[in-house]
């Protein structure tokens, strides 16, 4: 069983987001982690491999810094990693999915796993797009996966209950919280991870031109949420206070 895990490196969940002088997100000094939903996917891939045998290959798009996240997943037990650096200022979901699909198709696969979304941009598009490009079925937000001959039975959360989906392999499945509890890398695993293969590629290595992968979406502006102002306490008798509240909601907050 050859399992591909699509992985993204993101800011730490506790990272403080700031903008630099150019109005771009400041990456200086920010702790980077494996996107938590992708970490569930890595763990699930390892569990499937431990049960059914096979190989777990990590694929990621990003700069050299992503190696750190890939090494962590290799230390958890993945077999090898492929990192494609698009060498672009900005990428969008189209760019990432186009590159991933091309890289993955060259690797061969029985199952493709990923997180259902990344915690940074939260667009939840990439895995679905990869499935579309590769003409594969996709099951999103799964909380349980069972592999049987040539197919997967996946349980996914739906409003007020669960849905059990049977899908033929190969397929793309995206991980939701609750799928598993990711293991910690072992100390020995960390030592061994440096000997595991990590291929670094660029667009040309995949036979893609910059135009073919050029983003379709352009970010116009980033801005931070307005700092929360201090609350206001309306004094006086209830009827007057209510009147003042309605006035404030209408004229100051402009919500009614």
Partner 1 sequence: MDFCIDQELSLMIKTVKDFVDNEVDPVSHIIEETDRIPEDIMKKCKEMGLFGLSIPAEYGGAGIGMVGKCLIYEQLGRTSNGFTTVIGGHTGIGTVGIVESGTEEQKRKYLPPMAAGDKIGAFALTEPQAGSHAANIKTTAVRKGDKYILNGTKHFITNATIAEVFTVMAVTDKSKGAKGITSFIVEKSFPGFKLGTVERKMGLKGSQTAEVIFEDCEVPAENVLGRGGEGYTNALKILTNGRAGLAARNLGSMQKLLELSIKYAQERVQFDVPISSFQAVQHMLADMAVDIELTRSMVYRVAWMVDQKMKVIKEAAMVKYFASEAYCRVADRAVQIFGGMGYMKDLPIERYYRDARICRIYEGTSEIQKNIIAAQLLKDYG
Counting residues that bind partner 1 (by CB under 8 A) gives 15
CB of 97 to partner 1, least distance (A): 29
Tokens representing 66? 């992503």
Nearer CB in complex with partner 1: 144/196: 196
- The answer to the question of residue 141 lying near partner 1 (CB under 8 A) is no
Place of tokens 């991870």: 193
Euclidean distance between CA atoms 108 and 4, whole angstroms: 9
Q: Is 191 in the site for partner 1 (CB under 8 A)?
A: yes
Tell me which stretch binds partner 1 (CB under 8 A): 82-90, 129-137, 139-147, 183-191: 183-191
| Dist CA 5 CA 172 (whole Å) | 10
The rounded distance, in Å, linking the Cα atoms of 148 and 108 is: 19
The only residue of 26, 65, 186, 212 in contact with partner 1, by rule CB under 8 A: 186
Mark the segment that binds partner 1 (CB under 8 A) among 128-136, 155-163, 191-199, 233-241.
Answer: 191-199
User: In the stretch 55-74, what mask flags binding to partner 1 with x, by CB under 8 A?
Assistant: -------------x--xx--
The enclosing H or E element of 106 equals: helix 93-107
Is 60 within 8 Å of 8 (Cβ atoms)?
A: yes
| CB of 12 or CB of 240, closer to partner 1 | 12
Identify the CA nearest to 97 among candidates 72, 66, 124, 122. 124
Selected binder of partner 1 within 1, 190, 214, 248 (CB under 8 A): 190
Among 105, 148, 184, 246, which residue interacts with partner 1 (rule: CB under 8 A)? 184
Residue 181 C-beta: closest distance to partner 1, Å? 11
- The separation between the first and the last C-alpha atoms of the chain, rounded to the nearest angstrom, is 58
Cα-only R_g, the chain: 22
Residue 87 Cβ vs partner 1, minimum distance, rounded to whole Å? 22
Distances (CA, A) of 165 to 90, 141, 149, 152, 232: 36, 11, 15, 8, 51
Pick one of 133, 185, 214, 244: the residue that binds partner 1 (CB under 8 A).
Answer: 185
By CB under 8 A, name the binding residues for partner 1.
Answer: 68, 71-72, 75, 183-191, 193-194
């Amino acid at each position: 069983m050859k399992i591909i895990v699509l992985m993204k490196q993101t800011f730490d969940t506790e990272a403080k987001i700031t903008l630099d002088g150019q109005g771009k997100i400041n990456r200086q000094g920010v702790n980077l982690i494996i996107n938590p939903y992708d970490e569930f996917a890595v763990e699930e891939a390892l569990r499937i491999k431990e049960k059914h045998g096979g190989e777990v290959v990590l694929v990621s798009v990003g700069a050299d810094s992503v190696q750190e996240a890939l090494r962590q997943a290799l230390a958890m037990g993945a077999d090898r990693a492929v990192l494609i650096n698009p060498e672009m200022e900005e990428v969008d979901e189209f760019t990432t999915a186009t590159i991933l699909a091309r890289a993955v198709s060259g690797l061969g696969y029985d199952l493709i796993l990923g997180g259902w979304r990344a915690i940074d941009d939260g667009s939840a598009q990439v895995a679905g797009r990869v499935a579309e490009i590769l003409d594969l079925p996709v099951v999103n937000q799964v909380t349980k996966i069972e592999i049987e001959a040539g197919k997967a039975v996946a349980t996914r959360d739906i409003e007020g209950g669960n849905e059990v989906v049977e899908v033929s392999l190969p397929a793309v499945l995206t991980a939701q919280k609750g799928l598993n509890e990711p293991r910690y890398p072992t100390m020995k695993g960390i030592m061994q991870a440096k000997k595991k293969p990590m291929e670094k590629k660029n667009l040309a290595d995949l036979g893609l031109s910059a135009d073919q992968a050029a983003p379709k979406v352009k970010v116009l502006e980033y801005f931070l949420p307005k700092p929360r102002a201090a609350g206001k306490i309306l004094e006086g008798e209830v009827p007057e206070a209510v009147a003042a509240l309605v006035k404030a909601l209408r004229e100051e907050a402009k919500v009614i």
